[in-house]
């Protein structure tokens, strides 16, 4: 009998995490994906983008009300709560309230859909009731593990696995093709002001003018007014229209706005620019030139401190001149890009809240989730280590 998993998502980025996680588990698992009906539900185009590149059929997606959820309605071995914090907390609460404490059979795990460094107490608190929490880098795992020491009571086991939509098994070779496509990946929350965002658009316009033949694309998660995981106060497509109306960007501008999948945007010949976006990891994963902008700061507020010492930090003037740095291998291997795990792990045991243990079968090549040793201190976390020095 196959092990089974139910992923429950609520927004565009979390649905992408859910589908790529299930895809990496593969057909050896019985897989199901639900979409919770919330105000941040993805559009049809966002749903299509989330399923692109996976072996899952978008027709399998079922929309549910969270009020439908209880232990008796879930037959799967594992619930992967791939959703925003409040929704994860509600999923956990509904299952735990309706499942016998001394007879639990459903494992509860969760993860964040991108860079989560530095860790936040708020994000952790929403997910504390689960059995396991998946981090996507050693730095994140260390940060979250410190939080387990400051609170008594149940804490989920912290595990580490690369984001499931990243694919490289070693350091990807840098592309030899000249850059002919510049992709800007916005982050909904930063930078905060319209003026800062306008400066990015103006730099992209200048890059288009200074580099004949260069295609410039702003890869949006959603158009202005459409739902996405985080609310965006100043959408780039709206700002672009405003800049054109003020004659600061030409009506003949070659800047394009696209809402397709990131994999469609990051084709060979592309280079990526962002302030703070998981798209930087997807670009690095493909061996593409990548830049994290420092013009607005490299700090907690900009959610980009993880890129310190990465070798890919630059400024808007570097965007105009297409001056991209070389990513640091030490940073990639030691801080941000762990492997998926190449060792066969057939059984995982994680302590439950009542001292029980749930088990779930994992296969080689699935997101390599390893629990910490039984005698490890609370700051320990499980890491799947792939063979080969410097695997990314």
Say if CB 207 and CB 297 are below 8 A apart: no
pLDDT value, residue 339: 59
Q: How far apart are CA 72 and CA 27, in angstroms?
A: 25
Mean per-residue pLDDT, 181-186:
97
| Residue of 191, 183, 362 lying closest to 275 (CA atoms) | 191
pTM of the model: 0.86
Query: Which tens digit of pLDDT belongs to each residue from 58-98?
Result: 999 999 999 999 999 999 999 999 999 999 999 999 999 99
pLDDT value, residue 370: 38
**Band (373; pLDDT cuts 50, 70, 90):** very low
In percent, how much of the chain has pLDDT > 70? 85
pLDDT greater at residue 29 or residue 354: 29
Whether the bond between 145 and the residue before it is cis, its omega within 30 degrees of 0, is: no
pLDDT greater at residue 356 or residue 16: 16
189-201 burial: b if 16+ Cβ within 10 Å, else e: bbbeeeeebbbbb
pLDDT value, residue 149: 81
Q: At 138, is the secondary structure helix, strand, or coil?
A: helix
**Band (103; pLDDT cuts 50, 70, 90):** confident
| DSSP letter string, 298-317 | SSTTTT-GGGTTSS-EE-HH
């Amino acid at each position: 009998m196959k092990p089974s998993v139910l992923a429950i998502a609520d927004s565009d980025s979390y649905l992408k995490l859910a589908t790529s996680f299930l895809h990496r588990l593969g057909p050896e698992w019985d897989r199901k994906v639900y979409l919770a009906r919330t105000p941040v539900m993805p559009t049809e185009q966002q749903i299509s983008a989330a399923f692109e590149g996976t072996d899952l059929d978008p027709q399998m997606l079922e929309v549910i009300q969270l009020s439908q959820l209880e232990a008796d309605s879930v037959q799967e071995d594992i619930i992967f709560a791939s959703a925003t914090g409040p929704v994860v907390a509600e999923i956990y609460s509904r299952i735990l309230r309706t499942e016998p404490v001394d007879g639990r059979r459903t494992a509860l795990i969760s993860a964040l859909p991108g860079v989560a460094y530095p860790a936040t107490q708020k994000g952790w608190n929403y997910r504390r009731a689960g059995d396991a929490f998946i981090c996507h880098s050693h730095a994140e795992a260390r940060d979250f593990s410190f939080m387990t020491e400051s609170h008594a009571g149940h804490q989920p086991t912290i595990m580490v696995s690369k984001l499931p939509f990243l694919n490289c098994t070693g350091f990807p070779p840098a592309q030899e093709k000249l850059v002919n496509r510049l992709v800007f990946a916005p982050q909904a929350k930063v930078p905060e002001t319209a003026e800062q965002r306008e400066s990015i658009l103006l730099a992209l316009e200048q890059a288009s003018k200074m580099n004949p033949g260069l295609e410039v694309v702003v890869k949006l998660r959603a158009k202005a007014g459409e739902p996405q995981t985080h609310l965006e106060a100043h959408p780039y497509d709206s700002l672009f229209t405003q800049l054109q109306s003020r004659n600061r960007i030409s009506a003949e501008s070659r800047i394009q706005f696209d809402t397709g999948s990131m994999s469609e945007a990051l084709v060979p010949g592309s280079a990526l620019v962002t302030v703070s976006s998981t798209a930087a990891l997807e670009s690095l994963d493909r061996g593409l030139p990548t830049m994290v902008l420092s013009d607005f700061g490299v700090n907690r507020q900009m959610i980009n401190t993880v890129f310190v010492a990465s070798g890919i930090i630059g400024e808007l003037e570097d965007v105009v001149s297409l001056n991209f740095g070389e990513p640091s291998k030490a940073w990639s291997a030691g801080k941000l890009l762990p492997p998926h795990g190449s060792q066969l792990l057939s059984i995982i045991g994680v302590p439950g809240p009542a001292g029980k243990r749930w088990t779930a079968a994992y296969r080689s090549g699935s997101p390599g989730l390893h629990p910490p040793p039984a005698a490890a201190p609370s700051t320990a976390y499980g890491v799947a280590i792939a063979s080969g020095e410097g695997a990314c």
